[in-house]
Structure 1
Amino acid sequence: MEWINYYGIANMKKVAENLDGWLRRRIRMCIWKGWKKIKTRHENLVKLGLNTYKAWEYANTRKGYWRISNSPILSRTLTNKHLKEMGLTLILETYNLKHQLG
């Protein structure tokens, strides 16, 4: 993220927060879209710690990918910590690090 070095002198904290939120939601959407079958969605939600009944309820949803990506269930199961463990680098953290170092 070299562009953060370039814009490091500017105050773009709010922009970084909004962009991080959008990226996390988009990644959740892509993960949900990758679990194409109801059975796969159910199994993965249970693996992530959701009880079987709720997992089955959400696996059978007819809502679109983008709408589900903002649901409380996906936010609770695919947490920010889980996304970081998968390798997501937050823009806000990088910005704060560069901004503190000057």
Structure 2
Amino acid sequence: MKEKIRFITNPVWSLSMDERIRKLNQYLMGWIGYFALADAKKILQFTEEWIRRRLRLCLWSQWKRVRTGYRELRSLGLSHVHAIETANTRKGAWRTTKTPQIHKALGVAYWQQQGLKSLVQRYSVIRQA
């Protein structure tokens, strides 16, 4: 499963974020439907967090320049100081996706708004049915 998610969320693969999220939703909802009988809620929570981090990596990699990162972070509601601090970081892309500023700008609500479906919510719905 992780290998397929890594393939879909590969930042080098030139794919629009909408298409990437659509492919992820399709794969993950099928996977949840198949393994819904297993007791895996905690594992799904960790997997969901990891997927969001991979998507943040893809988005951060698209913003190749400091100026673009700053502009996008400001448009997502980050303050001037935090946007400059994050856009000018020397950290690598993977490490940057773990910062509190990126979590604030690209949190759970942002990804739900973009159309990413929650594994845990889907798991709970299937388990109750």
TM-score (norm 1): 0.93
Provide structure 2 residue ranges, at least 5 long, that are not aligned to the other structure.
1-28
**Which residue in the other structure is 1:90 paired with?**
118
Unaligned runs of 5+ in 1: none
Q: Is 1:62 equivalent to 2:90 in the alignment?
A: yes
Higher normalized contact order (CA 8 Å, seq sep 6+, divided by chain length): 1
Task: Map Cα deviations across residues 61-89 of structure 1 (whole Å, 9 max, x no partner).
Answer: 11011101111000011110011111111
Q: 1:42 Cα deviation (Å)?
A: 0.5
Equivalent-residue separation in structure 2 for 1:8 and 1:48 (angstroms): 35
Displacement, 1:2? 2.2
Query: Does residue 72 of structure 1 match 2:100?
Result: yes
Q: Structure 1 stretch 55-64 or stretch 5-14: which is displaced more?
A: 5-14
The alignment status of 1:16 with 2:64, answered yes or no, reads no
Distance 2:79 2:31 in 1: 42
Q: Percent identity?
A: 37
Q: Larger Cα Rg: Structure 1 or Structure 2?
A: 1
Output the CA distance in 2 between the equivalents of 1:47 and 1:3: 34
Report the count of equivalent residues.
Answer: 101
